[in-house]
């Protein structure tokens, strides 16, 4: 965080959307870092942020073990913005009253500004906000004033009369709040006084310098998949330590069609990387035989990946460091960012699967970035757009899109269907309009009729989503004729498939991947 004097700290009280707050702040060219909710005031002073944001969270301030902040933070005279649980904690800590409501309020509400303030500068008097809470502030001390209300929440926004302390019962970080980004921008720039001086080029320069100093004369190994995350990681390493970088590509038999060949072409000829390819398809498929539980699939794939990786790495002299393209959402969703109150959503083999006795020191240069920031960084580093804009692919590969048993035959069916989805979406000009599009092979068979004969074959589900951050997502409204072409081609060209369905679930409550 030394690249700029303008920093905002997001204190995480267990919210699954704390990273969205940080991302919205970074959109203002102000660096934001997520830290533990109980960070000591002394440490905050050392970091010297321009302001603090208290996130929401699933707890109640009335619980004995609810997460609390260091009370000395309120004495630092730093601007503070409390969101949902964060607001409740701020108000309770400073003399207010928080009560549990009869029912949880979840969804849109109309917010009305009662008192003009710099936090709401440039906003209309009424705008839609997104609520998600069970408790709410029902009384504030005389030191506070009410800024805005909704029909169900009279104290929807408050401010301390003398200090730059604010509270919002609604969530400005989600896109469902109409002017949420503007509210956060007002807090960061008008209240905290930030000018917006942080840029990804600064991040790249600092990261390259840190890698160079840490690696020294040793070699660093990069686990390469060909996706944007590992590719940007490899590019950063190349800039930092040049030919001290060795990339290992594990061919697990779970990649998309033509992907292994494409990666080899790009990183052995174009980038002239020291690329080691481990052919291990049979090894992975043997271990996955008969396994249908998705978390067990991830664990098996992660374990074998590490085994294959370690065996190949042992052949590389002076290899001391392992670099991975772990992103902020990966760390947070895997529960690895902190020992805090947030729940684990899923396991990633590049985060949760690493053994305790790993013989390498871990380097994760993208650990504090979001997907859109990684893409921007990739373009700045000179990576081709084909790599930078490639749709995300899960660490366990097609194994978590092949529901049920994972076999070579079923993977080939899925691989063909997935290629058709991508081809047709690209042809129609929708690839860059969607954030992620792919096929899923379902473990069910349905009745069909082909050539006047009855068939009983498997089902392909097509999934395409729109998202800015991959933490929330909505299903893509693909044109009917495009969906029709995809379905027709899959049924006609992919043996064993007689039905295609389209997934119209949003995240939440669903996830983007099916497993």
- Looking at the annotation, which residues are catalytic? 84, 171, 173
Residue 149 near residue 112, CB atoms below 8 Å: yes
Contacts of 170 (CB under 8 A, 6+ apart): 84, 109, 111, 129, 130, 131, 150, 153, 156, 157, 177
* Radius of gyration (C-alpha) of the chain in whole angstroms: 25
**Annotated binding-site members:** 225-231
Following CA atoms 490, 494, 500, 505 in sequence, which dihedral angle do they give, to the nearest 10 degrees? -90
- What CA–CA distance (Å, rounded) separates 207 from 233? 11
* Secondary structure, 3-state, 34-73: EEECCCCHHHHHHHCCCEEEECCCCCCCCCCCCCCCCHHH
For 102, the token pair is 């009869």
Phi, psi of 317 (to 5 degrees): -65, 145
Cα–Cα distances in Å, from 157 out to 54, 252, 313, 390? Answer: 14, 52, 55, 41
Strand, helix or coil for residue 277: strand
**Annotated binding-site members for ATP:** 225-231
- Pairing between strand 436-450 and 7-12? unpaired
- Pairing between strand 453-466 and 436-450? antiparallel
Q: Which residue has the tokens 């899959």?
A: 490
- What CA–CA distance (Å, rounded) separates 487 from 501? 8
């Amino acid at each position: 965080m030394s690249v700029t004097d303008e920093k905002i700290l997001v204190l995480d009280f267990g919210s699954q959307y704390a990273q969205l707050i940080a991302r919205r702040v970074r959109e203002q060219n102000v660096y934001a870092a997520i830290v533990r909710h109980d960070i000591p005031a002394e440490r905050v002073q050392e970091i010297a942020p321009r302001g603090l944001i208290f996130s929401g969270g699933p707890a109640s301030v009335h619980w004995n073990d609810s997460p609390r902040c260091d009370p000395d933070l309120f004495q630092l005279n730093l601007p503070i913005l409390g969101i949902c649980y964060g607001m409740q904690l701020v108000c309770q800590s400073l003399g207010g009253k928080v009560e549990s409501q009869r029912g949880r309020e979840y969804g849109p509400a109309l917010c009305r500004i009662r008192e003009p303030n710099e936090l709401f500068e440039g906003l209309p008097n009424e705008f839609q906000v997104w609520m998600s809470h069970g408790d709410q502030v029902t009384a504030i001390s005389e030191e506070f004033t009410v800024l805005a209300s909704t029909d169900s929440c009279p104290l929807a926004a408050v401010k301390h009369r003398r200090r730059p302390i604010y509270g919002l019962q609604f969530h400005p970080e989600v896109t469902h709040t109409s002017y949420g980004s503007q509210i956060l921008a007002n807090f960061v720039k008008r209240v905290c006084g930030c000018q917006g001086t942080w840029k990804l080029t600064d991040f790249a320069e600092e990261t390259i310098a840190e890698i160079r100093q840490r690696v020294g004369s040793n070699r660093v190994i990069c686990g390469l998949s060909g996706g944007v995350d590992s590719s940007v990681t490899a590019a950063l390493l190349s800039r930092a330590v040049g030919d001290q970088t060795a990339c290992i590509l594990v061919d697990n038999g779970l990649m998309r069609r033509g992907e292994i060949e494409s990666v080899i072409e790009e990183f052995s000829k174009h980038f002239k990387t020291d690329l080691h390819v481990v052919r291990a398809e049979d090894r992975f498929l043997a271990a996955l035989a008969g396994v249908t539980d998705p978390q067990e699939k991830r664990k098996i794939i992660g374990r074998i990946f590490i085994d294959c990786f370690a065996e190949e790495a042992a052949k590389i002299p002076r290899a001391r460091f392992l670099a991975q393209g772990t992103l902020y959402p990966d760390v947070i969703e895997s529960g690895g960012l902190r020992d805090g109150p947030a729940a684990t959503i899923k396991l990633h083999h590049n985060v949760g699967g690493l053994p305790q006795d790993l013989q390498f020191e871990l380097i994760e240069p993208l650990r504090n970035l979001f997907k859109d920031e990684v893409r921007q960084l990739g373009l700045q580093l000179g990576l081709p757009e084909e790599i930078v804009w490639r749709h995300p692919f899960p660490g366990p590969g097609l194994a978590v899109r092949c529901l049920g048993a994972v076999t070579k035959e079923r993977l080939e069916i899925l691989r063909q269907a997935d290629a058709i989805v991508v081809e047709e979406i690209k042809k129609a000009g929708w690839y860059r309009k969607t954030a992620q599009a792919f096929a899923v092979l379902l473990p069910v068979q349905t009745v069909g009729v082909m050539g006047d004969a009855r068939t009983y074959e498997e089902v392909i589900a097509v999934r395409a989503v729109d998202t800015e951050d991959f933490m929330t997502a909505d299903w893509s409204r693909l044109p009917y004729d495009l969906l029709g072409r995809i379905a027709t081609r899959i049924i006609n060209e992919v043996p064993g498939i007689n039905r295609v369905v389209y997934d119209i679930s949003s995240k939440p409550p669903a996830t983007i991947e099916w497993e």
